[in-house]
Amino acid sequence: MVDIATSLSNLQDKLQLLLKRTALIEKENLQLKASLNKEQNLVKELMEQVQEGKSKIAAAMVNTASMQPTDKAALVKKVDHYIKEIDTAIKNLNP
């Protein structure tokens, strides 16, 4: 009888351990889902910024034909800066 009681006690301990591990895994899963959702929203915002930037570039391209060289150089510098910011943000998303 003592052997059965010991076996049941061991089984109960193992079940408690499994329940604790399951709870930890579920908690981690929820955290990962929240993190994924946050990252997906950030990617969506960045994509919208890229589209907005593309629209601005297209509009600027129409106006560049009549621009002064100094204004044109300033516009190119701004566009390059935006592209660098976007590249940095994308790199930060994929460590």
What pLDDT score was predicted for residue 63?
A: 64
CB 94 within 8 A of CB 40: no
pTM of the model: 0.53
Span 50-93, pLDDT tens digits: 888 888 877 776 666 666 777 778 878 888 888 888 888 888 87
In this structure, what token pair is assigned to residue 22?
A: 């399951």
Span 26-43, pLDDT tens digits: 999 999 999 999 999 988
* Helices (H), ranges, the chain: 2-64, 69-93
| pLDDT greater at residue 15 or residue 69 | 15
What is the rounded CA–CA span in Å between residue 17 and residue 50?
Answer: 49
| pLDDT greater at residue 59 or residue 20 | 20
Residue with tokens 């300033």: 74
Residue 68's alpha-carbon distances to 23, 32, 41, 61, 64, in angstroms, are 65, 51, 39, 13, 8
